[in-house]
């Protein structure tokens, strides 16, 4: 087993307050925020972006859709897990001490609040705003008679043949409804037996577009919902019955995969089989739009085995608001969207003819999406065709759709190179895509492995081995984000390109670990989970505490997606109590409670929510004045430390360290436009605006543009100098280019 036992955390005696009262011990439940409720607060901050009038209209609709999609994933995984614990009578108490039943009750209350706020925003603000722009979502009875006739014809021609009305009775049990499918619940009775109504279900076909475009006077674009068109004809689907009512509902199911890798002889085959079962998971939530009768709702909840009070979400509008983004997908109104961003290739890669030469001479840091991900793609592509490249090794966690990186790896194998791809088949919700990539790569001759048994390979790493002047040189790319061209334009991440020998040796050993379980006796620079990352982070935090006690500079700045690990939070509390100033930039879940006197009053927790998803993991430890800076694939969560393969990468170049600490982290800490601060009660409030206004993501765009502009100006000046300087003795001889020297990597 690769996972070491987590170390015991040294607990200092609880401090006393100024009035002599004993402060709680650092593992006391009152010092921790519940993980699930903290995640819901992240979703509340996303909803706030949709509510903000400073956000362009179409972007507000996008953020509203993100809230709905986020809640889907939350229920399919986190709520499903808690329900499973309750069903199996397994009690795993989190650091805050809440039982699964207590968590489910609190989740239901807060999630209902968020859903109500979402529909209030849609009905009172966004829908009227879209209507003012000529974009209408209508009911069939709001259409003109001519348009109603048109949708009726379309119903009988294109929709009715696909439908399957199902009556629920002893001969027709309640059907299994697919996860996230929209259905119509129908209550009806026979004329001769109205006292005993029947219940029926019609599933809205997912193969048809949910938004049907229609003609409407004065509208720029008008739509009706597919379920509303079906409901208009529901009586004709159940002839001979008297219609009592119809409403739409949507079921969310447990969608997490449960795989015993010890029992799986073929992991690929096992996951393929589990994916086919996934839609049959237990229901965890039902959303309902429209009026219901008590009898029909009770029947529905009994059939789905849901609690009518906690698990039913009634909504005054269309189900799953994320689908409404299609209303504006074809609209070219730039004034109603964020300004388009074109990622730039920046110095030193800009105008570089030889990427390998640039990386040989210096480490390169890329800040996505402001700086283009294209050089990473180009590096793999050039390596695939370079006769001097002997081998390429790469991890693939979420490669996305039509991936140029995957195509380049396949081409490299076809060109006779040694190519290894570590494909993570268990990347949640990307399992099917990754199975396709694995098959494609194997067919091209790539050696595909699925990582270490029982562990997800979440690290982002690439190694290129190249023959240069009778020696082999290793080029590495290490990152905080996935090798995915789509998310590289939407997520804020960092990429490091380097040819440092000590890092190259470690990355080689890392891939050997993934393919053969062979860990090296020691690592030069990298720290790997689960082989010591947890201990390393605890050690770095403890070292800052020692510096503070000795009167040396002591500060921690950490940018993460989530902070959950109990031992790390205890260590941060202890460091703060020792005098370390701690700033945490945490986009999502944070279980640490800041601002508690004598415990966490030196800890500040900030969160930035803006147009790009903050995804970077980077850490700055002042180390008594000898700064250490790292980037990582890992958040500070138990799963990242103990159940995933992750990397912690030191930034060794002084200029790049300075860029991360001062430019990137410093700018984000100073954000007073899109930043939130976490309060001791677990809720967030916006950072007070100031002068000058600092919006960190906008500032990063400006800095990128400035670098490109300066590089272009320098290039033009160099060309002018070249054209105007005096020629040598032979007036007809052009200036000679200096031969580029081969230099060893610095450090």
**For the chain, what percent of residues have pLDDT higher than 90?**
68
pLDDT at 569: 98
Q: For residue 9, what are its two tokens?
A: 């955390």
Spatial CB neighbours of 663, under 8 Å, sequence gap ≥ 6:
703
Which of 394, 599, 343, 695 has its CA nearest to residue 515?
A: 394
pLDDT at 235: 87
Does the CA dihedral 565-568-573-576 come out positive or negative? negative
pLDDT tens readout for residues 44-61: 999 999 999 999 999 999
Catalytic residue list contains 458: yes
Q: Is the pLDDT of residue 535 over 70?
A: yes
pLDDT tens readout for residues 498-525: 999 999 999 999 999 999 888 888 999 9
What is the spatial distance between Cα 652 and Cα 505, in angstroms, rounded to a whole number? 15
Q: What is the DSSP letter of 253?
A: E
pLDDT tens readout for residues 424-445: 765 454 556 666 777 788 888 9
Mean pLDDT of 72-92: 87
What is the spatial distance between Cα 21 and Cα 31, in angstroms, rounded to a whole number? 16
The larger pLDDT score, comparing residue 553 to residue 454, is at: 553
pLDDT at 559: 98
3-state secondary structure of 624: helix
What is the spatial distance between Cα 409 and Cα 421, in angstroms, rounded to a whole number? 8
The angle formed by the CA atoms of residues 460, 436 and 491, to the nearest 5 degrees, is 40
Confidence band (pLDDT; 50, 70, 90) for 726?
very low
Q: Is the pLDDT of residue 488 over 60?
A: yes
Peptide bond into 120 cis (omega under 30): no
Q: Is the pLDDT of residue 732 over 90?
A: no
pLDDT at 715: 65
pLDDT at 519: 86
Q: Is the pLDDT of residue 526 over 50?
A: yes
Of the candidates 320, 368, 458, 477, the residue annotated as catalytic is: 458
pLDDT at 92: 77
Flag the least confident range among 175-189, 205-219, 621-635, 706-720.
Answer: 706-720
The larger pLDDT score, comparing residue 277 to residue 609, is at: 609
pLDDT at 403: 86
pLDDT tens readout for residues 606-616: 999 999 999 99
Confidence band (pLDDT; 50, 70, 90) for 171?
low
Mean pLDDT of 8-15: 39
pLDDT at 518: 84
Q: How many CB atoms lie within 10 A of CB 384?
A: 22
Name the region of 459 (left: φ>0; alpha: ψ -120 to 50; beta: rest): beta
Confidence band (pLDDT; 50, 70, 90) for 710?
confident
**Which of 188-202, 230-244, 476-490 has the largest mean confidence?**
476-490
Contact 79, 313 (CB under 8 A): no
pLDDT at 282: 87
3-state secondary structure of 21: coil
Strands (DSSP E) contained in 455-521 are: 456-457, 460-468, 471-479, 491-498
Q: Is the pLDDT of residue 392 over 90?
A: yes
pLDDT tens readout for residues 99-128: 999 999 999 999 999 999 999 999 999 999
pTM value is 0.88
Peptide bond into 439 cis (omega under 30): no
Q: Mean pLDDT across the chain, nearest whole number?
A: 87
Q: Is the pLDDT of residue 265 over 70?
A: no
């Amino acid at each position: 087993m690769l996972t070491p036992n987590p170390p015991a955390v040294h607990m200092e005696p609880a401090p006393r307050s100024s009035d002599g009262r004993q402060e709680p011990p650092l593992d006391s439940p009152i010092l921790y925020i519940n993980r699930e409720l903290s995640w819901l607060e992240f979703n509340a901050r996303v909803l706030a972006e949709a509510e903000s009038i400073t956000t362009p209209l179409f972007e507000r609709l996008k953020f509203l859709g993100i809230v709905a999609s986020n809640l889907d994933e939350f229920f399919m995984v986190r709520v499903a897990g808690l329900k499973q614990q309750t069903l199996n009578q397994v009690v795993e108490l989190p650091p805050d001490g809440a039982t699964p039943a207590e968590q489910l009750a609190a989740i239901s209350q807060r999630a209902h609040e968020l859903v109500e706020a979402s529909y209030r925003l849609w009905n009172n603000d966004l829908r009227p705003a879209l209507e003012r722009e000529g974009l209408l979502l209508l009911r069939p009875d709001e259409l003109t008679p001519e348009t109603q006739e048109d949708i009726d014809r379309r119903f009988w021609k294109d929709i009715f043949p696909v439908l399957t009305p199902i009556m629920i009775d002893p001969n027709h049990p309640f059907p299994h409804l697919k996860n996230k499918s929209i259905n119509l619940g129908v209550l009806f009775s026979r004329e001769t037996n109205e006292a005993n109504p029947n219940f029926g279900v019609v599933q809205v076909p997912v193969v048809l577009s949910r938004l049907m475009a229609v003609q409407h006077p004065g509208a720029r674009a008008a739509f009706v919902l597919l379920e509303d068109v079906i409901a208009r004809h529901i009586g004709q689907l159940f002839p001979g019955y008297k219609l009592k009512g119809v409403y739409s509902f949507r079921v969310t199911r447990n969608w997490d995969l449960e795989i015993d890798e010890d029992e799986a002889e073929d992991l690929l085959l096992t996951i393929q089989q589990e994916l086919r079962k996934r839609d049959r998971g237990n229901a965890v939530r039902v959303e309902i739009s429209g009026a219901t009768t008590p009898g029909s709702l009770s029947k529905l909840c009994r059939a789905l085995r849901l609690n009518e009070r906690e698990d039913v979400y009634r909504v005054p509008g269309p189900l799953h608001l994320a689908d409404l983004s299609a209303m504006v997908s074809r609209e070219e109104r730039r004034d109603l969207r964020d300004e388009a961003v074109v990622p730039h290739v920046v110095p030193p890669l800009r105008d570089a003819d030889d990427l390998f030469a640039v990386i040989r001479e210096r480490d390169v840091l890329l800040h996505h999406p402001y700086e283009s991900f294209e050089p990473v793609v180009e590096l793999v592509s050039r390596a695939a065709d370079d006769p001097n490249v002997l081998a390429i090794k790469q991890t693939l966690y979420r490669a996305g759709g039509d991936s140029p990186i995957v195509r380049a790896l396949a081409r490299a194998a076809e060109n006779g190179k040694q190519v290894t791809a570590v494909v993570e088949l268990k990347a949640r919700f990307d399992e099917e895509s990754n199975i396709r990539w694995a098959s494609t790569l194997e067919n091209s001759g790539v050696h595909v492995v699925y990582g270490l048994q029982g562990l997800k390979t979440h690290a982002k790493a690439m190694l290129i081995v190249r023959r240069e002047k009778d020696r082999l040189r290793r080029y590495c790319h290490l990152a905080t984000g996935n090798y995915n061209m789509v998310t590289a334009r939407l997520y804020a991440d960092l990429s490091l390109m380097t040819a440092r020998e000590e890092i190259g040796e470690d990355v080689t050993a890392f891939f050997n670990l993934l393919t053969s379980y062979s860990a090296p006796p020691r690592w030069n620079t990298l720290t790997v989970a689960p082989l010591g990352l947890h201990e390393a982070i605890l050690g770095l935090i403890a070292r800052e505490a020692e510096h503070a006690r000795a009167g040396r500079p002591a500060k921690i700045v950490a940018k993460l997606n989530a902070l959950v690990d109990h031992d790390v939070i205890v260590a941060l509390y202890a460091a703060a109590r020792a005098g370390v100033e701690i700033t945490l930039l945490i986009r999502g879940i944070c279980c640490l409670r800041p601002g508690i006197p004598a415990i966490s009053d030196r800890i500040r927790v900030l969160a930035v929510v803006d147009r790009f998803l903050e995804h970077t993991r980077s850490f700055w430890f002042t180390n008594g004045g000898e700064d250490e800076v790292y980037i990582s694939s890992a958040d500070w969560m138990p799963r990242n430390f103990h159940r995933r393969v992750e990397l912690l990468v030191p930034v060794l170049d002084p200029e790049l360290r300075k860029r991360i600490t001062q430019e990137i982290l410093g700018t984000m800490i100073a954000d007073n436009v899109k930043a939130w601060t976490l309060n001791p009660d677990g809720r967030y409030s916006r950072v007070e605006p100031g002068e000058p206004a600092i919006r960190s993501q906008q500032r990063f765009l400006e800095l990128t543009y400035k670098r490109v502009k300066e590089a272009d100006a320098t290039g033009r000046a160099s060309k002018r100098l070249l054209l105007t300087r005096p020629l040598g003795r032979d007036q007809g001889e052009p200036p000679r280019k200096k031969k580029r020297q081969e230099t060893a990597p610095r450090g």
